[in-house]
């Protein structure tokens, strides 16, 4: 159920894989928000899907940021996470 193109409450047709995709995207968003909270000491200037843009001093270690991003929240015990990153002077798509 949801709002249709005429802005009325209506029944939508769907299928299993779409529900799974929505669940996975929701969990991924929650994991990104958890990472952003663990990195709150840094200046996060933006995020795009599964990426974060952080402005920080040049002496900040990229490995430390990646380790913090790979921390598993209490509600996802057993989930294996890993984070990769790169350093640059301006944003670019990796």
pLDDT given for residue 15 in this prediction: 84
pLDDT band at 93 (very low <50, low <70, confident <90, very high): confident
With a cut of 80, say whether residue 92 has pLDDT above it: no
State pLDDT tens for residues 12-59: 888 889 889 999 999 999 999 999 999 999 999 999 888 899 999 889
Buried b (16+ CB within 10 A) or exposed e, 39-76: beebeeeeeeeeebebebeeeeeeeebeeebeeeeeee
């Amino acid at each position: 159920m949801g709002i249709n193109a005429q802005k009325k409450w209506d029944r939508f047709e769907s299928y299993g894989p779409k529900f799974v995709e929505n669940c996975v995207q929701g969990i991924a968003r929650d994991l990104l928000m958890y990472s952003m909270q663990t990195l709150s000491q840094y200046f996060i200037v933006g995020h795009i899907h599964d990426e974060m843009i952080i402005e920080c001093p040049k002496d900040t270690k990229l490995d430390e940021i990646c380790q913090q991003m790979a921390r598993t929240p209490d509600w996802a015990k057993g989930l294996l996470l890993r984070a990769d990153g790169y350093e640059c002077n301006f944003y670019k798509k990796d």
